[in-house]
Amino acid sequence: MAGMMTGVSNSSTMVEFSVTGVCCQDISKTGNMTVRVPRDRMSQAMQNIHRMGGTIAGVSVSAGDTPAPSSDDE
């Protein structure tokens, strides 16, 4: 299917939003911030950002945690 990522589970895929203009309790707006959520919570996170008056300036997707390289120098 178009738009589907194959071979990667949704639970391990992370989505990172660059957000601007979030309102803090109707007092002031913050600067830029980054929100990182699992892929299966992306829609909920987008709704929350918009409810708080924020604008999504950018989105990046990663395939989750990648293992750290091991050193076998022994």
Q: What is the pLDDT of residues 11-40, one digit of tens each?
A: 689 999 999 988 766 666 677 889 999 999
Q: Which of 6, 56, 62, 54 is nearest to 37 (CA)?
A: 62
Q: 64 with 16: CB under 8 angstroms?
A: no
What CATH architecture does domain 14-62 belong to? 2-Layer Sandwich (3.30)
What DSSP string runs through 30-52?
A: ---EEEEEEGGGHHHHHHHHHHT
Average pLDDT along the chain: 76
The pTM score is 0.64
Domain-wise residue ranges, the chain: 14-62
Give residue 46's pLDDT: 95
**pLDDT of 2 above 90:** no
